[in-house]
Structure 1
């Protein structure tokens, strides 16, 4: 997940001095390149999951996250970890990815993907509640209306009124809410080392695999058919699972972390607005639809909504010396 949101939070909370014009240093250029690579990788997540939709979402989530977590495991700061933080991070990582993958399999993938990308708008709603010194403004309300309009435009021509579709789309919204909460929550605790994300991923992956095995052994409880009846992955599916572990559910997290530490956070956050369009386009092309007019308009409205809502406030914030967080 998405790390895109935490980047935006950092962007909105930078001192005004850091928002002045500047010339990119070589270090900042490298960081920007890494951020672009991470965002490109994340934009392939939806189409990657759709391409192996024959597999259980729990199995996909478990293998992808566990593999991604193993990448950074040697650098986890074990002595400075907090049990509550690890629990929140792991549960959020598990819930977000599992529900997102379920939505891609149980609803129209393009519609589910766009609804999932409403998480930046939810961050705007959660931020004033969870963070000191953050206030909701008229532009946030405008962005929320545009986001809702985008969902309506996208869903109208693609989704029929069926129980299975409504359930899948509801799950997509739930995944967006979880990621928005996690992103704002992580912004409250900048002292937690980024390497701890590796442990979140690993524990979430293990939890997903345990749930997969449990549902396989208890088919009567497998209401959404998430257990082992799908069969073992083929060689091609193993390759895609490996890509998920190395890429969207693994390497991209570390590329993004380096970019946020070495680059200019608010500029890096701006390029994240291209992810919804790229991701939705990949899914549409994979399904043989091309880029439908409704999908293009919906993606454009979502991007416009995030751009309007994500603009830095003109009010000069105050910061604490210890954490750099706005002091309300």
Structure 2
């Protein structure tokens, strides 16, 4: 469900490109925080302390990721930006193996490589023409991929309740983005009904509600496989943007879907083989 939600992030990010990203995220994170507070109240949870050092760290990471990602749409075309940002599953697996005890082994690297190829095919020979005017957008999109991979790997080892901690993280992220907006561009733009709709969709979905789902998945699911399944997000994102007229369709989409699926299969069979070997020993 989180990955399906993230499939809308590229289109929503492109639609919000006329608005200050700091303001968009201030409101989006606030919506997510309200959702978390309501869930905490209904389930007798106590949100984490606002100034807890780990809350501040995670809030800084999640805010920085979304800020650089939305800012990237101000500098480059939406589909290349979205696709470069969706290199985060490969970053998640590689960083996880190197620094966070992910232990996906060779199947994890192979699955990441296949997913990486799928994204490359989606970009296509004309989809990513590196021009000086768009270099900043591409660099910001890739920085976002690294930031989200770091956030996900760090959250995977957290012991605190996911909903209670993420509620406070979203609150702090909204506060940080609001402070940044006030310091750099403190004006209230004229918001249309469409603008309000985009902000609400971001808050309830990919820039808010999806955090809670993804956090539970990273803690309780197969993190390496989730990283590979994350490659379906750029496929969904590209299909949606094509449907909205943000690019031209091509055969690359279907080839990319095949590579993404194959990457997930490789990781899953590799995990089963590893567990079978452990049992035999």
Q: CA deviation at 1:309?
A: 4.4
Q: CA deviation at 1:283?
A: 1.4
Residues 47-126 of structure 1 aligned to structure 2 (within 5 Å)? 47-74=11-38, 75=40, 77-78=46-47, 83-126=52-95
Listed as ranges, the gaps of 5+ residues in structure 1 are 1-34, 218-227, 318-328
Q: CA RMSD in A?
A: 3.2
Answer yes or no: is the 8 Å Cα contact 2:156–2:215 preserved in 1: no
Does structure 1 residue 188 correspond to structure 2 residue 154?
Answer: no
- What is the TM-score normalised by the length of structure 1? 0.69
Output one character per residue of 1:291-314: Cα deviation in whole Å (capped at 9) or x when no partner. 223455445545544553465533
Q: Secondary structure at the match of 1:248?
A: coil
Answer yes or no: is the 8 Å Cα contact 2:49–2:168 preserved in 1: no
Output one character per residue of 1:86-125: Cα deviation in whole Å (capped at 9) or x when no partner. 0221011101111111223322211121121111111111
Q: CA deviation at 1:259?
A: 7.6
For the residues of structure 2 that align with 1:57 and 1:117, how far apart are their CA atoms? 19
Does structure 1 residue 315 correspond to structure 2 residue 274?
Answer: yes
Q: Secondary structure at the match of 1:292?
A: coil
Q: Does the C-alpha gap of structure 1 residues 288 and 135 become closer, same or farther in structure 2, counting only changes over 3 Å?
A: closer
Moved more, 270-279 or 42-51: 270-279
Answer yes or no: is the 8 Å Cα contact 2:90–2:116 preserved in 1: no
For the residues of structure 2 that align with 1:258 and 1:122, how far apart are their CA atoms? 20
- What is the TM-score normalised by the length of structure 2? 0.79
For 2:210, which of 242, 245, 252 is the aligned residue? 252
For 1:131, which of 92, 100, 104 is the aligned residue? 100
- Specify the alignment match of 2:10 in structure 1: 46
Listed as ranges, the gaps of 5+ residues in structure 2 are 277-281
For 1:278, which of 224, 229, 236 is the aligned residue? 236
For the residues of structure 2 that align with 1:148 and 1:105, how far apart are their CA atoms? 25
Q: CA deviation at 1:66?
A: 1.8
For the residues of structure 2 that align with 1:255 and 1:151, how far apart are their CA atoms? 24
Moved more, 91-100 or 162-171: 162-171
